[in-house]
Amino acid sequence: MSRYLLRRLAIALPSLLGISLVLFTVLALAPGDPFGDLASNPNVPPEVAAALRAKFGLDDPVWSRYLHWLVAMLHGDWGFSFVSRVNVDQLILQRLPVTLLVIGSSQILALLVALPVGVYAATRPYSIFDQIANTLAFIGFSLPTFFTGILFILVFSIYLDWLPFVFRTDLAATGWRWYWEESRQAIMPITVLGLFQGASWTRFVRSAVLDVIRLDYVTTARAKGIAERVVITKHVVRNALIPVVTLVALSMPTVFGGAIITEQIFRVPGIGSLLISSILANDTPVIMAVTFVFACLVILFNLIADLLYGFLDPRISYR
């Protein structure tokens, strides 16, 4: 497996290089730049504005700026934020843990909902439980996260006053009280993302289990007198999870996109909200770094999915 992992990492490097080239070119050719307001500001002398643009190479050719960015990034220099006045890597390291916490927790919640509900509905097709689960699943993935986020705020924050609707980073509590307050303010964004993904995955799990449960080897296992619980958990679910793993890996771009909207609704200080604020301020170094981090995370999750295939299906070998 180590050789397979090294080969996949070697393949991922050209992919990341191509993604970075496309992202940098699109951002460089987009209208506007971080120092565009300096030209119309009478308080800034023209020579100062020209010196700043020359210092950061904003008037250089695109290929020259990209090579400079690539070399600097390989040396650990991700650039400088023109708005926050700090290094880009510091901004990302400050906000990335919050985003990973929200997204990771929401995906765990989605799996905890989708797997048992989808499997149970597939083992009892067209039953009352199956019909209710299908209806709720259709409603769940039909409603966008910004709608359910606002609905959660109205119900649990405005009417019931149970949960805070703004994610705060300056909590005054300490000890266990701090962990409790941190958990309370993370409940709604995690639930919004988790239920949205869980509703979509429930339908897919149900369909995958239905395809496997009708195969001949399942019938043979039942004919041998193996308990139904063992047949479902060992023979059906394990094989049905292979396409589910593919779906989870391919859903990562959508998850990160939904996290950006959810972070804006609940004011979560993650890299999604950092990306939106940087786009509004034309802070291109931060935009480039955040989108590149998203691309790295997507490739990482696809690699994890490929490694899980061999665990779920022994017939798959790492070559």
The C-alpha torsion from 129 through 135 and 140 to 143, rounded to 10°, is: -170
pLDDT at 157 over 70: yes
CA distances 179 to 101, 157, 171, 300, Å, are 13, 19, 10, 29
User: What pLDDT, on the 0 to 100 scale, is given for residue 1?
Assistant: 62
Cβ atoms of residues 168 and 110 within 8 Å = no
Task: Give Cβ neighbours of residue 39 (< 8 Å, ≥ 6 apart).
Answer: 46, 49
Percentage of residues in the chain having pLDDT higher than 70: 84
d(CA 191, CA 160): 17
pLDDT tens-digit readout, 125-142: 888 998 999 899 888 888
pLDDT at 91 over 80: yes
Task: Give Cβ neighbours of residue 112 (< 8 Å, ≥ 6 apart).
Answer: 198
Average pLDDT over residues 181-205: 86
User: What pLDDT, on the 0 to 100 scale, is given for residue 117?
Assistant: 92
pLDDT tens-digit readout, 32-74: 666 665 555 566 566 666 676 676 666 677 788 888 888 888 8
Cβ atoms of residues 166 and 111 within 8 Å = no
User: What pLDDT, on the 0 to 100 scale, is given for residue 208?
Assistant: 86
Cβ atoms of residues 134 and 121 within 8 Å = yes
pLDDT at 288 over 80: yes
pLDDT tens-digit readout, 234-281: 778 877 877 777 777 777 766 777 677 888 888 888 887 888 888 887
Q: What is the DSSP letter of 87?
A: B
Higher pLDDT, 61 or 116: 116
CA distances 272 to 27, 257, 276, Å, are 17, 8, 7
Cβ atoms of residues 276 and 71 within 8 Å = no
pLDDT at 313 over 70: no
d(CA 103, CA 97): 10
